[in-house]
């Protein structure tokens, strides 16, 4: 059985839970308090030298890090990852977009505002993420204004990856009401079979 080492309120970790649930795969979840150093212990670094969650244990002692690599592994040969070469590349396009152009702004702003022990001290830093986050949302809105899902005109791990932090972008100070196509897409994701909500803490 798969084991996930993860922090439930992390969007990166929640993606993995969403994929496992969507695919009806059995798993156990080991909660890791990444905000209080549990990814930096010698024991955890032996599992993932990069010191990050989520981490998938595929079989005892075989560990796969990087949320979006985990999504690709889980979705391999399933409807969540197209086989067609170009359509699969389009899914990957959005996965890389998410990690480079979206997460560093939207997830970081959310962390600083909601989870940092002294959010007031981080206000300027959080606000410095605003332009980049809105740019990423505008790119998504542009795509979703014409397409029901981000890639391949069907629900895929690209949607799961972008849903992770987009649906809690409000906690990072972003106003999703400005993005009607994103708002409609969030509802389409939440209407998928076996959709699972992010735990509140």
For binding to its own copies (CB under 8 A), which residues are involved?
49-50, 52, 58, 62, 64-70, 72-73, 76-77, 85-86, 88-90, 92-93, 95-97, 99-101, 103-104, 139, 142-143
Instruction: Output the smallest distance, CB 93 to its own copies, in A.
Output: 4
Of 58 and 184, which has the nearer Cβ to its own copies? 58
Of 22 and 136, which has the nearer Cβ to its own copies? 136
Q: How far apart are CA 160 and CA 68, in angstroms?
A: 10
Task: Check if the beta carbon of residue 73 is closer than 8 Å to that of residue 56.
Answer: yes
The residue behind tokens 């795969």 is 25
Of 60 and 193, which has the nearer Cβ to its own copies? 60
Instruction: Output the smallest distance, CB 191 to its own copies, in A.
Output: 26
Judge residue 30's burial from the number of C-beta atoms within 10 Å of its C-beta, 0-12 exposed, 13-18 middle, 19 or more buried.
Answer: exposed
Of 41 and 199, which has the nearer Cβ to its own copies? 41
Going by C-alpha positions, the residue among 147, 106, 117 that lies closest to residue 37 is 117
């Amino acid at each position: 059985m798969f084991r996930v080492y993860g922090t439930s309120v992390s969007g990166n970790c929640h993606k993995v839970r969403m994929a496992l649930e969507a695919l009806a795969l059995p798993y156990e979840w080991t909660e890791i308090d990444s905000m209080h150093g549990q990814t930096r212990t010698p024991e955890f670094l032996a599992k993932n030298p990069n010191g990050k969650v989520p981490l998938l244990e595929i079989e005892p002692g075989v560990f796969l890090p990087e949320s979006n690599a985990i999504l690709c592994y889980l979705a391999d040969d399933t409807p969540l990852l197209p086989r067609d070469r170009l359509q699969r590349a389009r899914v990957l396009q959005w996965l890389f977009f998410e990690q480079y152009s979206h997460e560093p702004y939207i997830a970081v702003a959310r962390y600083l505002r909601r989870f940092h022990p002294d959010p007031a001290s981080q206000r300027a830093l959080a606000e410095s993420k605003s332009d980049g986050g809105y740019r990423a949302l505008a790119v998504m809105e542009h795509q979703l204004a014409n397409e029901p899902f981000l890639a391949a005109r069907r629900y895929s791990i690209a949607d799961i990856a972008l849903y992770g932090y987009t649906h809690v972008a409000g906690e990072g100070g972003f106003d999703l009401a400005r993005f009607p196509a994103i708002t409609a897409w969030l509802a389409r994701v939440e209407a998928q079979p076996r959709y699972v909500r992010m735990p509140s803490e």
